[in-house]
Amino acid sequence: MRIADARIVELPKFLDARGNLSFVEQKNHIPFQIRRTYWLYDVPGGECRGGHAYIENQEFIVALSGSFDVVLDDGVEKRTFTLNRSYYGLYVPKGLWREMNNFSTNSLAMVLSSTDYDANDYIRDYDVFLKLKKDGKI
Ligand code: TYD
C-alpha cells in the first residue's frame, strides 16, 4: 500500500444550536469490517504514539476531541494528516508506517480497526519496515 491509498473521509454532520452530531456507518464510510475500537487519551504534550506499521490491520482514525497529526510513510513518501474536526476520519491502509504526534490538551483519538489486537501484526523496527517494503513483502 502507498500513501495515495490513505484518505480523509468526511463524515455527516448535523449542526444544531443544541450541539452538533456526527456519525460513522460501516457500509458508507469504512472500507473494512470493524473488528475492534480503541482510543488514545490523556496524551502528555510532546508525546508520540504508534511508531510502527501493521502487516494486516487497517484503521480509521477520528479526532473525537482536540487535534493531533497522523504521519504516514510508505517507505518512499511521507505525509502528515492533521485531524482537528470530529467529522473527518482518516483511512489508514495496512503496510504503512504510522506515527501520531502533536496531540492537543484533552485530545481524544478514536481508532476503528479491522483486526483483533495481535502483537505479531506489528512491525516496530523502521529498518525492517523499509526492507519489507522494498522487497514487496508488505
Ligand atoms: P500499542 O499499539 O503498542 O501503542 P503504541 O504503538 O502507541 O505504543 O499499544 C500499547 C499497549 O496496549 C500494547 O502493549 C498492547 C495494548 N493494546 C491492547 O491490548 N489492545 C489494543 O487493541 C491496543 C491498540 C493495544
Residue found under cell 502507498: 2
The answer to whether the CB of 89 falls within 8 A of the CB of 61 is yes
CB-based contacts of 8, cutoff 8 Å, min separation 6: 81, 88, 89, 90, 91
In angstroms, the CA 41 to CA 31 distance is 25
* Cβ of 52 less than 6 Å from ligand 1: yes
Give the predicted TM-score (pTM) of the model.
Answer: 0.97
Tell me the mean pLDDT per 10 residues along the chain, length 138.
Answer: 96 98 97 98 95 98 98 98 98 98 97 98 98 96
**16 φ/ψ angles, rounded to the nearest 5 degrees:** -150, 140
In angstroms, the CA 34 to CA 115 distance is 8
Atom of ligand 1 nearest to the CA of 119: 15
The residues that are catalytic are: 52
In angstroms, the CA 54 to CA 4 distance is 17
Atom of ligand 1 nearest to the CA of 52: 6
CB-based contacts of 126, cutoff 8 Å, min separation 6: 51, 97
Ligand 1 centroid from CA 49, angstroms = 10
* Structure confidence at residue 45 (pLDDT): 87
* Cβ of 49 less than 6 Å from ligand 1: yes
